[in-house]
Every structure is written in structure tokens, then in C-alpha cells.
């Protein structure tokens, strides 16, 4: 095995891990605050990729503007869905949230398959991020490095906002005890709308970052979300830092497996999930309830 191949696969693993992190972070926020397992998270990621592609091809709006605009657009769509659909099922069993978001996913995905078919659409890497660096032991394409950096910054900013700011304090309180938090005068229903918006906006941002790497297709989210859910099970639902750390670790592990035992790379995360479920059902960073 060459060092080149090893570091190359570890980089791929780190990039995959970055996408897992952005998606599972959003899932953790949404589950904590709304008690909903958002199966549609992959569809919002796809929506992010597609809106990026549409902004460029229909409106001539480029990558960097998309990086700002698309999470806002996806977040607003999410907020509208929360306000009209999700808020109706909060007092029902978790299973209904799963079913409803599954339906939302099928709807969004189905619409895009209907109008755009399933073929992938290319999105060119922005010129400022083309090229790469020769690090000696490997070649690092600039855009790939950018994806890892951008997603790390996004995750850490989100973590900081939740753990260290007054808005995050209110968010944590509403997550832990929504009824009492309302009795203190906090508008928790509005906070839930915002929380869902932010959660899916993170998936939307991941979609923008993904557009130049993976072909933009209506099914791009469906492929990713299954692995992301395994990552979430390993990390434990509801822990912010746990979601980030687990995502990156499992992404790297997946990359490493591609080098030492390529046949196992698609299932290594699921094997880990199985072991974690047997040994620590609440997940590595989760708390037993």
C-alpha cells in the first residue's frame, strides 16, 4: 500500500465525515428540540445542492453567493414546513414524526425526480478554489481542503452558539424542559420553528458544499442519509459535540477501511453501529433516558 493511497483515502474519509457531521448536527438539534427524527434531512441536503445548481443555471448566481443564500432558502422552507405540518404532531408518538418526515422526503425527492430525472448534473468548482497543493506525501485539491475547513468551521460555530451564548442557553433549556421554559416567558413554539429551520439549513449548506464534488441529483440525499443515521446511532441522538466527533471519526474509519479492506468499506459504519447498539445502546455520547 502506498502512502499516497492511504492519505488519499483518509482525505476522502475526512470529507465524507464532514458531510456526516453537518447532517447529523442538524438532526441532533432537531431531535433535541422537537423530538422528531427527521428522515427528510437528506432531502434538505439534496435541496441545498439543487438550489445551488438552479441559482447558477437560471439566475447566474455563483457559488459563494449560494453558500450564503441557499442555507437561508432551505431554512425558510424548513420553517414553513414546521409551522404548517410538524407542529401538529408534537403531542403524538415519535413514530408519527418519523412517518411525516418520511412522507416529506418522498414528496420533495419525487418532485425533483419528476422535473429533473435522476441523472446527475455537474457543477463546476469555483475558479478561486481550483487547483491544489502538493503536500509532499499527497496532493490536496484546494476544493476538498475547503470543504473540510468550511464544514469544521460551520460545526464549531454551531456548537459554540449552542453551548456558550444566551440564545444557545435558551435553546438548551427549551430542549430539556419545554413546558417550564414557556412558563418563564420564552416563546418555545417560535424557538422550535427556528430550530428546525437551522437544523435543515445545515443540511442545505452541506448541499452547497457537495455540489462541486458529487453530481447534483434528486437521489443524492437518499444515498447519504442512511449512513448518516447509522452515524447518529453510534454517536447518540441529541449530543452536539458527539455528533461532530463521531461523524469525523467514522468518516476517517471508512476511508481507512477502503485502503486495508476495500470490500468492507461500505459496511464498516454499520458494523460499528451494531457493536455500539449491543454495548452502549444510548450511543457513545448519548445519555440514557
The binding site for other proteins (CB under 8 A) comprises 166, 169-170, 172-173, 175-177, 179-189
In sequence order, what are the residues at sequence separation of 6 or more whose Cβ sits closer than 8 angstroms to the Cβ of residue 179? none
Q: Which is nearer to other proteins, 2 or 187 (CB)?
A: 187
Q: Which is nearer to other proteins, 32 or 97 (CB)?
A: 32
In sequence order, what are the residues at sequence separation of 6 or more whose Cβ sits closer than 8 angstroms to the Cβ of residue 237? 27, 28, 31, 32, 37, 283, 286
**Shortest distance, position 33 Cβ to other proteins, whole Å:** 12
Q: Which is nearer to other proteins, 220 or 243 (CB)?
A: 243
Q: Which three cell numbers stand for residue 183?
A: 412558563
Q: Is 60 left (phi over 0), alpha (psi -120 to 50) or beta?
A: left
Q: Which is nearer to other proteins, 60 or 185 (CB)?
A: 185
Q: Which is nearer to other proteins, 183 or 271 (CB)?
A: 183
**Shortest distance, position 172 Cβ to other proteins, whole Å:** 5
In sequence order, what are the residues at sequence separation of 6 or more whose Cβ sits closer than 8 angstroms to the Cβ of residue 38? 26, 27, 30, 31, 97, 101, 196, 199, 200
**Shortest distance, position 282 Cβ to other proteins, whole Å:** 15
Is residue 240 within 8 Å of residue 287, measured between CB atoms?
Answer: no
CA distance 43 to 80: 15
Q: Which three cell numbers stand for residue 100?
A: 411525516
Number of CB atoms found within 10 A of residue 277's CB: 13
Q: Which is nearer to other proteins, 34 or 269 (CB)?
A: 34
**Shortest distance, position 287 Cβ to other proteins, whole Å:** 9
Q: Which is nearer to other proteins, 170 or 282 (CB)?
A: 170
Supply the DSSP string of 44-85, one letter for each residue: HHHHHHHHHHHHHHHH---HHHHHHHHHHHHHHHHHHHHHHT
In sequence order, what are the residues at sequence separation of 6 or more whose Cβ sits closer than 8 angstroms to the Cβ of residue 212? 63, 123, 124, 125, 126, 129, 143
**Shortest distance, position 191 Cβ to other proteins, whole Å:** 10
Using CA of residue 82, residue 84, residue 85, residue 87, what is the dihedral sign? positive
Backbone angles phi, psi at 282, to 5 degrees: -80, -5
**Shortest distance, position 61 Cβ to other proteins, whole Å:** 39
Q: Which is nearer to other proteins, 9 or 175 (CB)?
A: 175
Amino acid at each position: 500500500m502506498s502512502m499516497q493511497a492511504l492519505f488519499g483515502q483518509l482525505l476522502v474519509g475526512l470529507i465524507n465525515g464532514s458531510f456526516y457531521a453537518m447532517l447529523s448536527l442538524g438532526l441532533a438539534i432537531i431531535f433535541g428540540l422537537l423530538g422528531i427524527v427527521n428522515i427528510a434531512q437528506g432531502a434538505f441536503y439534496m435541496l441545498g445542492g439543487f438550489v445551488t445548481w438552479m441559482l447558477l443555471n437560471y439566475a447566474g448566481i455563483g457559488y459563494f453567493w449560494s453558500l450564503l443564500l441557499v442555507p437561508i432558502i432551505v431554512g425558510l422552507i424548513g420553517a414553513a414546513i414546521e409551522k404548517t405540518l410538524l407542529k401538529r404532531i408534537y403531542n403524538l408518538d415519535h413514530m408519527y414524526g418519523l412517518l411525516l418526515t418520511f412522507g416529506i422526503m418522498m414528496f420533495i425527492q419525487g418532485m425533483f425526480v419528476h422535473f429533473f430525472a435522476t441523472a446527475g448534473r455537474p457543477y463546476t468548482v469555483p475558479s478561486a478554489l481550483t487547483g491544489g497543493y502538493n503536500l509532499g506525501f499527497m496532493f490536496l485539491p484546494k476544493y476538498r481542503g475547503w470543504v473540510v475547513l468550511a464544514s469544521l468551521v460551520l460545526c464549531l460555530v454551531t456548537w459554540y452558539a449552542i453551548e456558550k451564548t444566551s440564545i444557545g442557553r435558551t435553546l438548551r433549556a427549551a430542549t430539556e424542559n419545554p413546558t417550564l421554559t414557556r412558563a418563564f416567558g420564552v416563546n418555545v413554539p417560535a424557538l422550535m420553528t427556528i430550530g428546525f429551520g437551522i437544523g435543515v439549513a445545515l443540511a442545505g449548506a452541506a448541499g452547497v458544499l457537495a455540489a462541486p464534488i458529487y453530481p447534483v441529483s434528486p437521489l443524492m440525499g437518499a444515498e447519504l442519509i442512511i449512513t448518516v443515521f447509522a452515524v447518529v446511532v453510534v454517536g447518540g441522538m441529541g449530543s452536539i459535540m458527539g455528533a461532530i466527533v463521531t461523524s469525523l471519526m467514522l468518516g476517517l474509519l471508512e476511508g481507512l477501511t477502503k485502503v486495508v479492506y476495500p470490500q468492507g468499506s461500505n459496511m464498516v459504519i454499520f458494523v460499528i453501529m451494531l457493536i455500539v447498539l449491543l454495548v452502549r445502546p444510548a450511543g457513545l455520547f448519548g445519555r440514557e433516558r
